[in-house]
Amino acid sequence: MRNAYLVATREYAENARTKGFWVNLLMFPILLVASVKVPELLQDKAKPVRHFVLLDQSGEFEGAVQKGIDRAHNRKVAGALLKHAQVWSDPKKAPEAPDVDWTQLPADQMGNFDPSQDPLEQFEAMVGQGEIAEAFSDPAAIKAFESVLRASMKPDAPEFSAPRRDYERVELPEGVDPTAPVMEIAKGLKPYLSGGKMPGSDRGLFALVVIPPDAAQRLKRPTDGAMAAKNQQHGADGVQFWSSNLTDQEFREEVQSALDAEVRAREFERRGVDEKTVKEVQQTRIQFASFDPTKAEGDERVSIADTLRKWAPVGFVYLLFVAIFNTVVMLLNNTVEEKSNRIIEVLVSSATPGEIMMGKLMGIAGVGLTMLCAWVLSLLGVLMWFAGPSVQWAGPLLDVIRSSGLLPLFAFYFVGGYLIFAGIFLAVGSLCSTVKEAQNFVGSAIILLMVPLFTMVFVAQEPNGTLATVMSWIPIYTPFVMMNRAAADPPLFELWGTGILMAVTAIGMLWLSGKIFRIGILRTGQPPRLIELLKALRTPSKLQ
Amino acid sequence: MNDSAPAVVLRGVTKKYGDFTAVDSVDLEVPRGSIYGFLGPNGAGKTTTIRMILDIVKPTRGSIAVLGADSALKVRNRIGYLPEEKGLYKKMKAWAIVSYFAQLKGIDAKESKRRAYELLEKYGLKDFADAKCETLSKGMGQKVQVLASIAHRPEFVILDEPFSGLDPANQQVLEGVIRDLRDQGSTVVFSTHVMSHAERMCDRILLVARAKKIFDGTIPEARALIPRQVRLSGPSRELLERLPGVARVEPVEEEGAVGRFELTMADDAHPQDLLRHCFRESIELASFEHHEPTLHEVFLHLVGEEAKVASFR
């Protein structure tokens, strides 16, 4: 045992001293921080506030478009508030008879809520229907909604801050005649539309919207015949939207739907339909909520934490894969190195092959565990640092990791998976004399190891489905797939059954690889063919 | 375990790899405290014999005892081994490697570190003790490896081709290491295909060729295997042929060698006796040269020219 320990400490020290090890260790938290911070930065940088020119030559639609754009923004604010409330929702708070001061809400909104029900759920439904936007033009109203929603949020939830406007209207630059034909105006603005800075501004023009004088006459109705459609092809295009950015369609849609809403309102009037009645009809809805039968009674409502709980294991599967793969390749390389420079002979004259193998297994496992501990700790650290208003999922994710049994399971599956794959790689390493020979094997082994990564998403979506169940019972995939399913409470029988099968496989694999290792480490030349190997396993002296 | 037993005893040891016989029924005894050379051309079976002695490879037939035990593995902490192909952990420091292998042989960490520095200093590697092995030259690396195999002060040291790849200066250092080991009471076995090292250092040698033992014994015994030759300038061929112990007389066929003869002595006769006889009988000799045969000549005599062509570089 002393020798195994000596071999283990040497292996550990040698690998823990390599640059690669430290790069691995430090890259993870850096990537983690970057994966959160970079998109945030990019969002600010990539989508700056965008300027547009709105020119209404008909004089009829300008107000409607402006209102539409405001509404779209208000809807975004409402959506952001909903997300904020969901992220910080407290599943422990009873949804029935909440302690809410409903009178804070603007008078015209009061009627939309049932005071005896959970405000978050009702708010969610309203935002889903897009009906709440009007109220959100007033900052005081936003505050009122937030304080109502606090009834179902955690006490430590941070304050909500509304997102900024994405689109801002600017005036037509001097020298461009607002009454000129569309083509001429477009021509005058072309330099700004294609990236040039507008006079007195630090940015170019994102879009030009021109509503022609006869826009009100250019309507398409479902009752229009084929003839009318044909006539329209020959005419101008009606409202013209000029922009060199073809990927961002959001603003275009906002303007278009604002105009559509306006002409529809006019249609209601023309046909003698009361618009208010239509709106009221549209706002009528059935009560609806999602429940998860696997959760404890009274706690069945689905929150964002539940969604995270479902997907967090996917992250752990990745970590598991990277950690296991990194360590077993280390094991393979070390073994081949010792073989190719014949240190193994000195080792074998100093310690038994069993001790050497055990030492290598333990030493490299130590390296892997150090790496994993560092990763998990930095993950927790980064999450704690982020947990707050800017990264709203960090807090709940932290809770998920801390509260569920994911970490112990993760440790169990790492050890099991490591032992199985270490057994395979160690045996192969002992049979190869050069790194090149070993690499051929690694190539095919990677593909085998990747299967659980390919199926990861399917397993997460259907954690107790056929694919997941079948793969769980294949011992080399058990660690990955069961980790994948961990949050979905797989049947206890499967949890224990696959766990025991994995442990038995690991022991068997180590026993077999111990036998191969004994034969392999002193062999030189080409790796043996499988048939030779099988013969040698029965009579070990054959190959020596 | 019997401490007065020979360091190594081989009885009828044979090793076959399939149809190929690497070692063919070799008997051998290595006495304690001796320096023993395994000599023979490449592929003669030296390394296989060494691996069998260490119980890294099992013999097909025959028995091996090392330090009185039936397997070297049982007494592995009392044995030091340097394999034929040399290699070190590239990223480890010189002292750490010496210390690591000493620890594997049962020395505690502190003591092994002390001995590592002591040995490195003693054999001229003091400045490289803290250098990583990848920065060492081949010769230095090899010396480190030799030191790593003896830092636990083994009773029995077995070195496979320790001199190959070393420059003359380092070969001399290594000869010093081996002699020091003997002086400390260790038994040393080393293999080589360079006869001169064995000639200078060994108390006994084993000669192998084509898997078979050809000879084992002391170096004088080996030399006695071939008839001695004397060159002298003397009176006449007829007179010389009548001298006692002379088997054959041939004139030396070199330019200006008139009157010079080469005498081949009889198996049991010694040139010294011949010289004494000449003095007593007042036979005038203008010159008298006698040289001991080299091991190389002994070897060639024993295995024949064929081995020379086949193996020696």
Return the pLDDT at A295: 60
DSSP state, residue A55: E
Residue percentage of chain B with pLDDT more than 90: 33
Same domain, residue pair B50 and B189? yes
Evaluate whether A148 touches A103 at the Cβ level (below 8 Å): no
Same domain, residue pair B186 and B261? no
Nearest to A364 by CA among A336, A337, A324: A324
| Type of residue found at A462 | E
In angstroms, the CA A324 to CA A118 distance is 46
- Of B57, B85, B104, nearest to A351 by CB-CB distance is B104
Please report whether residue B300 resides in a domain.
no
Tell me the chain A residues in contact with residue B148 when contact means C-beta distances shorter than 8 Å. 346
In angstroms, the CA A128 to CA A131 distance is 8
Q: For B8-49, write each residue's pLDDT tens digit.
A: 999 999 998 888 888 988 999 999 999 999 988 888 888 889
Helix-, strand-, coil-residue percentages of chain A, each rounded to 5: 65, 5, 30
Same domain, residue pair B107 and B148? yes
In angstroms, the CA B235 to CA B257 distance is 13
The domain containing residue B64 runs over which residues? Answer: 8-223
Same domain, residue pair B52 and B75? yes
Return the pLDDT at A419: 92
Shortest Cα distance, chain A CAs vs residue B188, angstroms: 16
- Tracing tokens 């797939």 back to the chain, one arrives at A481
> A346 and B76 in contact by Cβ < 8 A?
no
B165 touches chain A (CB under 8 A): no
Please report whether residue B301 resides in a domain.
no
> B149 and A342 in contact by Cβ < 8 A?
no
Q: Give me the tens of pLDDT residue by residue for chain A, a chain 544 residues long.
A: 788 999 999 989 888 888 888 888 888 888 878 877 777 676 656 567 888 888 888 888 888 888 888 888 888 888 888 877 877 777 666 555 556 677 777 767 766 777 777 777 777 777 776 666 677 777 778 888 888 888 777 777 788 877 788 888 888 887 778 888 888 888 888 888 887 887 777 778 888 888 888 877 777 777 766 655 555 554 556 888 888 877 778 888 888 888 888 888 888 888 888 878 887 887 777 777 666 666 655 555 556 666 676 677 788 888 888 888 888 888 888 888 888 888 888 888 888 888 899 999 999 999 988 988 888 888 888 877 776 555 556 666 777 777 667 788 888 999 999 999 999 888 888 888 887 888 888 888 888 888 888 888 788 778 888 888 888 999 889 998 888 888 777 888 888 999 999 999 999 999 998 888 888 877 765 666 666 777 766 665 444 4
> B104 and A17 in contact by Cβ < 8 A?
no
B103 touches chain A (CB under 8 A): yes
Return the pLDDT at A212: 84
Residues of A contacting chain B (CB within 8 angstroms): 2-3, 6-7, 10, 14, 17-18, 337, 340-343, 345-352, 522, 541, 544
Please report whether residue B308 resides in a domain.
no
Q: Give the confidence band of B313 by pLDDT, cuts at 50, 70, 90.
A: very low
Return the pLDDT at A366: 92
SS3 category, A130: coil
Tell me the chain B residues in contact with residue A360 when contact means C-beta distances shorter than 8 Å. none
Number of domains observed in the structure of chain B: 2
Best mutation site among B14, B48, B55, B104 for testing chain A: the one with the most A CBs within 10 Å? Answer: B104
Return the pLDDT at A428: 86
> A350 and B100 in contact by Cβ < 8 A?
no
Return the pLDDT at A541: 46
- Of A14, A342, A350, nearest to B76 by CB-CB distance is A350
- Mean pLDDT across chain B: 85
| Domain end call among B166, B201, B223 | B223
Interstrand relation of B212-218 and B204-209 (parallel, antiparallel or unpaired): antiparallel
Return the pLDDT at B311: 44
In angstroms, the CA B313 to CA A435 distance is 31
> B104 and A345 in contact by Cβ < 8 A?
no
Return the pLDDT at A362: 92
Return the pLDDT at A372: 86
Q: Give the confidence band of B228 by pLDDT, cuts at 50, 70, 90.
A: confident
> B87 and A6 in contact by Cβ < 8 A?
no
Same domain, residue pair B136 and B235? no
- Domain boundaries in chain A? 2-35+297-543, 46-61+167-275, 65-152
> A14 and B105 in contact by Cβ < 8 A?
no
Nearest to A381 by CA among A109, A29, A107: A29
- The tokens of B175 are what? 């000869």
Same domain, residue pair B66 and B205? yes
For position B277, which CATH number holds? 3.30.70
Please report whether residue B267 resides in a domain.
yes
Evaluate whether B284 touches B263 at the Cβ level (below 8 Å): no
Q: Give residues 125 to 164 of B whose Cβ lies within 8 Å of A.
A: 148-149
Those residues whose C-beta lies under 8 Å from the C-beta of residue A543, and which sit 6 or more positions away, are: A519, A523, A528, A532, A536
Best mutation site among A337, A349, A352 for testing chain B: the one with the most B CBs within 10 Å? Answer: A349
Those residues whose C-beta lies under 8 Å from the C-beta of residue A25, and which sit 6 or more positions away, are: A370, A371, A374, A375
Same domain, residue pair B171 and B211? yes
Nearest to A310 by CA among A490, A99, A449, A484: A484
Nearest to B27 by CA among B63, B1, B72: B63
- The tokens of B284 are what? 């005038």
Those residues whose C-beta lies under 8 Å from the C-beta of residue A84, and which sit 6 or more positions away, are: A157, A160, A392
- Of A10, A341, A349, nearest to B54 by CB-CB distance is A349
Tell me the chain B residues in contact with residue A544 when contact means C-beta distances shorter than 8 Å. 57-58
User: What pairs with residue A242 in β-bridges?
Assistant: A208
Q: Give the C-alpha distances (Å, rounded to integers) separating B179 from B157, B174, B176, B204, B216.
A: 12, 9, 5, 14, 21
Element (H, E) at B196: helix B195-201
Same domain, residue pair B216 and B254? no
DSSP state, residue A433: S
Q: What are the φ and ψ backbone dihedral angles of A318, each rounded to 5 degrees?
A: -60, -50
Same domain, residue pair B75 and B185? yes
Tell me the chain A residues in contact with residue B104 when contact means C-beta distances shorter than 8 Å. 3, 6-7, 347, 350-351
Same domain, residue pair B235 and B200? no
Sheet containing B187-192: order of strands: B61-66, B8-17, B20-30, B212-218, B204-209, B35-39, B187-192, B156-160, B79-82
For position B35, which CATH number holds? 3.40.50.300
Q: For B243-300, write each residue's pLDDT tens digit.
A: 888 888 888 777 766 778 888 887 777 788 888 888 888 888 888 888 778 888 888 8
Same domain, residue pair B50 and B76? yes
> A342 and B87 in contact by Cβ < 8 A?
yes
Nearest to A71 by CA among A255, A205, A299: A255
In angstroms, the CA B8 to CA B67 distance is 6
| Type of residue found at B119 | L
Nearest to A123 by CA among A89, A93, A82: A82
Inter-chain contacts counted by CB atoms under 8 A, chains A and B: 59
Return the C-alpha torsion angle A264, A266, A268, A274, nearest 10: 120
B54 touches chain A (CB under 8 A): yes
Helical segments of A88-209, H only: 107-110, 119-129, 139-149, 182-193
- The tokens of A416 are what? 């099991």
Average pLDDT over residues B169-194: 90
Residue A506: Cβ-neighbour burial (10 angstroms; 0-12, 13-18, 19+): buried
In angstroms, the CA A99 to CA A78 distance is 22
Shortest Cα distance, chain B CAs vs residue A376, angstroms: 29
Same domain, residue pair B210 and B235? no
Shortest Cα distance, chain A CAs vs residue B77, angstroms: 7
In angstroms, the CA A207 to CA A217 distance is 24
